[in-house]
A and B are shown apart, each in its own frame.
Chain A
């Protein structure tokens, strides 16, 4: 027994040794903005579709004070950066991620994304958000400055929170806590019970519909519970639903297929909820209905294969443009956590397939902010909003030109170093490449 313990300790020691070998730990969150900053001569992509050539953006104490071609001159205390030839963007927002909840997908000990149970409205992702995850810094250096951290599992998996990506701990990181409750719709995909040509399993669909009904019942009971202020026994699950019914919190419904989305819309109507659909692979089939019902979509991963072999080969690339055309409010997301750093490029693809470049940018900035409920303070480069800014040498949505030189979160200039850059530098030295 003792020997076994000893071995564990030795292993643990080794593991720590590996981690501390690199300097990632010295990448500190930045101090609050102390001086006004003026970014001048830049191409400013506002995030709302507007582009300001040769413009200036000023921010102070974390807030944008002025944007445009005729910004009042900087005071003597201001830092002025001449950004001639460079592009200024609102920080990209990853609206759907496991960031900080997962460190290594295959290692159970590093996964804090999925709780046990079917209905867990009181579970909060922000609690497990690891502000020291090595993954976070690899996102910032690609201009992703905010993320919604989402729990998964069961039917009602808990609440997400939006975090800013420069923080000492989860409390610092919290940008908007519990912004949405998450409902994972059971799949209504008709699947053959016995291979090609087999009949679809009706049982499976029935189970799914029963589960939906289970959630509906839960919502009804929670709603009724809240009509009475005194309860002999407090029900934390019902309590956790309060803000949802007052529309202070949104319900994000994860689903992809037409029938699933129709159920989602019906849900919103029955309980008068502020919802968004997360996923929406087949949203293009009912874009008009989504528009009529003002249901926004967090569209998952344009870089996907078509759902069906007969679908247009570029269907996932062009779904965004179809939603735009129908007037649906949507933003783009990516699965996973480390993958979020490619979100800008996913936006680029939607621009190749029908969106204008500025519309594509809006789909990962202002629209994301609107859907997550943070557009009052971020998502675009407008006076009064937080100075969440990424500066790129070239087009941020094109990997061949996107090089993020500087970034600010709430006016703080953040350190764009990360573990991977450090390893790069280490081996550049080894091979004399520098």
Chain B
């Protein structure tokens, strides 16, 4: 009877996978694609004082990584609420494991 077996949960997981895959596609493109495989091609483009490929490899890809995680957090929190699996619906006492006692 656990909520994790329902068709709801299956649909949630599918959407989750789709979000992860699309973000990882961007992750792969900016790092392995633009900064490694096609870096020499992109180096022909001038980007301020940089060659663009060089800039992607040493700066741009890192900025993209940070943005990707924040986009993931935003999308997943939204998805959690949509499917009612977010932690705000937990019993308040359960969300704070610290109140557990350890006296023996």
* Same complex: no
- Mark B residues whose CB is within 8 Å of A: none
- A residues near B, CB below 8 A? none
